[in-house]
Amino acid sequence: MKRTWLSAMVVLWLLPSQAQAVEADSLLFPRPEALRGAIDFWKQVFGVYTTHHVLVHDDTDLSIVYGVEKLDRSSSTRQRQQSQDAVLARYRRALERLATAPADTNSLNEEERRVWLALGKSRDPGRYRRAIESLRVQVGQRDRFTQGLVMWDRHGEQIRRILSEHGVPDSLAVLPFIESGYNPEAYSKVGAAGLWQIMKGTGRPFLRIGHKVDERRDPFKATAAAAQILRGNYKALGAWPLAITAYNHGAAGVGRGVREVGSRQISDLVQRYKGPAFGFSSRNFYAEFAAVLELISQRPQYFGAEALAAAVADEDQLLAAGFVPQRAAVDTALSAAIMLENLVHRFLGLTKEVHSFTTVAAQQLPPGQTAVIKSIFQVGPQDTLQSFRWGPSLAPEGHPHRGTLWCTVWYENGEGQVSETLRLTPEGEIVDKTRRE
């Protein structure tokens, strides 16, 4: 059932208080500099790229992203997996070539150039050989996260209240974004169920779990159970970052890691603990949590249009009704991360009457978006981004450029200023690319 425009405004009015509540105990959840690359990576996964994109990256240093590839929207699950495998194979071949021969920058193909730039233009073959072993792809989650925001708006206050009543910081209410996408009906292939993805054995001391009744699917009873689990983790480990990691890995496993590395700092555990079961998911669980905390506190920047869409339940109808002013559409295209899908489908769809270009200095970009723009334009990590400009083609009706979007970036690469321009179709395809030095 759709809500009224007034209801939508009420939802938006509540958002700042939610963000402040999440920020209130930020001291309990430190973001060490050693994890900043991982936190920013997960902000891109949850807040920028959708399930129609895969990020090709290093699985030990998440600040290294080689590229972002689009997936066919109409493909089946099997076809999507095959596409991901093909993307991974292309980048593996690029790394293998650079591992066996010095980089001739004039002969690099697209993937090889991306890899070369992401690894700092290294000429050490060993650097590329090591990178082969840690190559990974990650599917974006922005669309699923946006769906979760609907449940967050509906039940977030009560879930935070239940956590507080059990002596647990209410900021932990964002954990279900990671566990289930805030879906109380979620069920994993290993048997975890509900909003908090509680396993049967873990949940039975707190919940009724059987064929007829499974309280793991009750979001509020499951929250009370999760609170008790998290509180137990904290009592055993003495720090909330460790307790959160233990929600994924188990308190005993995290305790072993703490003893092995000789430190209770989450960054030391993540970087130095090599336990056989402490894999990618466990290593990144706290960074994902910290990323979601930041996304919620910065929600207007990342999900401005979706906040309205969630209230009306149908974004297309909302936009057609004219609820989003033209300027807000431009801001949404920018703050939704300058990703190709958003640039094209949102910008062109919402601002067809705009007949001018918009230029933004690098320091004015929303948090984390400099890295996104660098990835799209394949700008080296050491190069300094200066400004970004975009706008619709002003070509007359009938011209092949009509309806396309132009995007230009200016950056300093140590040898002088460089500008690169992309021209995109409404389908998100790059049809033209120019570079000037």
Q: Report DSSP letters for 156-217, one per residue.
A: HHHHHHHHHHTT--GGGGGHHHHHTSS-TT-B-TTS-BTTTTB-HHHHTTTS-BSSS-BGGG
Q: Alpha-carbon torsion 136, 142, 148, 152, what sign?
A: positive
**The two three-digit tokens of residue 205, written as one number:** 């001391």
pLDDT at residue 405 tops 80:
no
Per-residue pLDDT at 37 = 93
pLDDT over threshold 90, residue 6? no
Taking the alpha carbons at both ends of the chain, their separation in whole angstroms is 55
CATH 3.90.230.10 for domain 5-37+142-297: no
Over the stretch 85-105, which tens digit does the pLDDT of each residue have? 999 999 999 999 999 976 677
pLDDT digits (tens, 9 = 90+) for 274-290: 999 999 999 999 999 99
Q: How far apart are CA 363 and CA 249, in angstroms?
A: 38
Burial 397-434 (b: 16+ CB within 10 A, else e): eeeeeeebbbbbbbbeeeeeebbbbbbbeeebeeeeee
Asked if the model's pLDDT at residue 365 lies above 90, the reply is no
Residue 103 pLDDT: 63
Asked whether the beta carbons of 295 and 17 are under 8 A apart, the reply is no
Q: 19-43: b or e for each residue (b if 16 or more CB lie within 10 Å)?
A: bebbeeeeeebbbbeebebbbbbbb
pLDDT digits (tens, 9 = 90+) for 308-332: 344 333 333 323 333 222 223 333 3
Give the residue-averaged pLDDT of 363-373: 61
Q: Are strands 358-361 and 384-392 parallel, antiparallel or unpaired?
A: antiparallel
Two tokens, residue 378: 């394949």
Check whether 16 has a pLDDT greater than 80: no
Band (pLDDT 50/70/90 cuts) for residue 398 is confident
| Tens digits of residue pLDDT in 203-224 | 999 999 988 888 998 999 999 9
pLDDT of residue 101: 75
**What pLDDT band is residue 9 in, cutting at 50, 70 and 90?**
very low
Closest residue by Cα to residue 408 from 394, 378, 387, 381: 387
- Which residues in 328-340 are b (16+ Cβ under 10 Å) and which e? bbbbbbbbbbbbb
Which token pair is 152?
């967050």
Higher pLDDT among residues 310 and 187, named by residue: 187
Quick one: pLDDT at residue 71? 87
Closest CA to 405 of 344, 339, 354, 356: 344
For the stretch 23-31, contacts whose Cβ atoms lie closer than 8 Å and that sit 24 or more positions apart, written own/partner, are 23/297, 24/171, 25/169, 25/170, 25/171, 26/171, 26/293, 28/169, 28/171, 28/240, 29/169, 29/171, 29/240, 29/241, 29/244, 29/289, 29/290, 29/293, 30/241, 30/266, 31/290, 31/294
Q: What is the pLDDT of residue 319?
A: 31
pLDDT value at 344 more than 60: no
Mean per-residue pLDDT over the chain, rounded: 79
Cβ neighbours of residue 362 closer than 8 Å, sequence gap 6 or more: 370, 384, 385, 386, 387, 388
Where are the chain's structural domains?
5-37+142-297, 52-139, 336-436
For residue range 18-27, list pLDDT tens digits in order.
445 444 556 8
337 pLDDT more than 50: no
pLDDT at 146 (0 to 100): 87
Give the residue from 149, 139, 134 showing the smallest Cα distance to 70.
139
Q: Are 293 and 170 in contact (CB under 8 A)?
A: no
